Amino acid sequence: MNAYFFKIPMVGDGGVGKTSLVTQYVNKKFVQDYKMTIGVDFQLKDEVLPNGQKVKLQIWDTGGQARFTSIRTVYYRGSHGIVFMYDVTNRASFQNLGRWLDEINKHNPNAKKLIIGNKIDLVARRLVSTTEGENYALSKGCLFGETSAKTGEGVREAMLKLIQAILPYYDTSERVMKKRQTNKRTVDPFLHSDDEELLFEYSG
């Protein structure tokens, strides 16, 4: 397995641009089987940091499935970083960030968090300013970025911020992951043993 391997789920209201951003960033590498099995997609992205360090990202994206509690557990468990996205032209999507943050803090308080304001190409329709987004992120202990999943502006830059924040903590989380995997057989090294049980639960 790659030395640096980060699981990063995407969360945020429907329509804010999660799928578009992942597609823009990853360039279409679907792992279709997982989509069919558990109703959640993840895509793999090989990133090279400015210092030459290689990182493999497993970016999880979901449709509406995350509203089911048991899927959420699989979705968030073992994640190293989480992207919270809103749409700068949709104030409700910004106001709902608090709900997503509360939920993640229950499941995975240690993951590094990045808030992204998306659709900045829609300049005339913007309702949430950069400063407002930035201040909110700061107040919640999150990193912040603004993007256009349409033009690609800010996308890689935002993801790099998150990766750089995870790196110093990575070794510890990786050890925890390996320890868990020695306890039970796993079908896939990317998944935790507990996830496998849920995988069967959902494929049945």
Amino acid 186 reads: T
CB of 2 to ligand G3D, least distance (A): 26
Residue 23 lies near Mg ion (rule: CB under 5 A): no
- Please pick, from the candidates 5, 19, 150, 170, the single residue that binds Mg ion as defined by CB under 5 A: 19
Rounded CA separation 125/94 (Å): 14
Contacts of 80 (CB under 8 A, 6+ apart): 6, 7, 8, 111, 112, 166, 169, 170, 173
Rounded CA separation 164/6 (Å): 11
Rounded CA separation 106/178 (Å): 23
Residues 146 to 175 in contact with ligand G3D, rule: CB under 6 A: 148-150
CB of 9 to ligand G3D, least distance (A): 13
Residue 117 lies near ligand G3D (rule: CB under 6 A): no
Choices 97-105, 128-136, 145-153, 162-170 (CB under 6 A): range interacting with ligand G3D: 145-153
Binding site for ligand G3D (CB under 6 A): 14-20, 118-119, 121-122, 148-150
